[in-house]
Copies of this chain bind each other. A is one copy, B any other.
Amino acid sequence: MHPSRRVTIIDVARHAGVSTTAVSKVMRNAYGASPEMQIKVRAAIEELGYRPSAAARGLRGQTYTIGVMLPEMRNPFFADILDGVTEHLGGTDYQVLMAACCNDEAGEVRITEAMIDRSMDGIILIAPISSRRHLQKVARAVPTVVVGRHGHSPDYDTVTDDDFAGAGLVVDHLVALGHRRIAHIEHAEKNPVRLKEMPNAQRADGYRHAMQAHGLGDYIDIASTTYTQQGGYLGAQQLLARPQRPTAIFAGADIVAMGVLDALTEAGLSAPQDISVAGYDDTMFAAFGPISLTTVDQAGHQMGLNAVRLLLDRVASRGRPTAQIKLSPTLITRRTTAPIP
């Protein structure tokens, strides 16, 4: 069987007895098409099952495609953001396409360039680790919104969670339960720019600040590893080996908390009987019965919603000054934290 040539705008125009210009106008709801024309054309489109080629469109106008770059696929928190994005785009002609990157800078460059090459109308970068320089370059080529990375730029909008405040919520909660020796596991970061802009650094700062605010400056104790399960495991081992063991561990991310729980189990301890444990992100598994992790909800859905709103806004008017949206996190209390024994 033949793969039967695709229906083009020319076929539709011929079938409706009008010009291709007219069909194009109707497709885009553009100005200059009378109601009768609209009806005639829409009928022809329907009848022939016409769908415009995005490639051809991209050559002149828009592609109606929004790109989303994720640092990884396994953190369900990103799925929440995505949900916010797609939900808001559901009624429109836009389509979201994602690319997951390997958490390294080269991968991010590859993906962003691929999205620019494919003339996407706009892109959303989630927690990018690339240099500022690269982000600027991308943002100048195509409307861009950066999610989950602090700091602002004249070229792209940002949507972040108030990580500083979120860390404070956790400390407040633990202090209210009577804890004083509250330790933190952070993601080690050396690059000075990223140190300012990445959420992990803000969480560590928020932790320090809140501890001091409670007069617990002397109990500040931080293990520097990575935001991975392995990092949580190693960090907890470090903390458990202290001469004075902490009574609570605030892990910078839920996945880190999983590693902490592993280390506790291995040491014959359990949460919250021996040590309270809190995470950050409110990922799907934090809610599972056997885990039931106290954590911080970042309102990923809201972040996605705001990101795409800003993006469409910028697509419409590229000149407008950039905006920074900061959302407030909320504490989710579950069963891994309890009053000090």
Contact = CB atoms under 8 A, between A and B. Distances in A.
Interface stretch (A200-208, A238-246, A284-292, A323-331): A284-292
A126 interface: no
B79 A73 contact: yes
Contacts of A102: 86
Interface stretch (A51-59, A170-178, A217-225): A51-59
A85 to B, nearest CB: 10
A119 B261 contact: no
A99 interface: yes
Contacts of A306: none
A74 B81 CA distance: 12
A290 B100 CA distance: 28
A160 B289 CA distance: 31
A98 interface: yes
A114 B95 contact: yes
A214 interface: no
Interface string A105-119: 000001101101111
Contacts of A110: 95
B55 A63 contact: yes
Given A53-B119, A99-B98, A288 B291 contact: yes
A76 interface: yes
Contacts of A53: 58-59, 117, 119
Contacts of A266: 289
A65 B118 contact: yes
Interface string A262-273: 101110000000
Contact of A73 (B51, B76, B118): B76
Given A98-B99, A262-B289, A289-B262, A118 B63 contact: yes
Nearest to A233: B289
A258 interface: yes
Contacts of A315: none
A284 B229 CA distance: 11
B65 A73 contact: no
A99 B100 contact: no
A114 B291 CA distance: 39
A113 B64 CA distance: 13
B63 A73 contact: no
A55 B289 contact: no
B65 A74 contact: no
Interface of A: 1, 3, 51-59, 63, 65, 67, 72-74, 76, 78-79, 82, 86, 95-100, 102, 110-111, 113-114, 116-119, 140-141, 229, 258, 261-262, 264-266, 284-285, 288-291
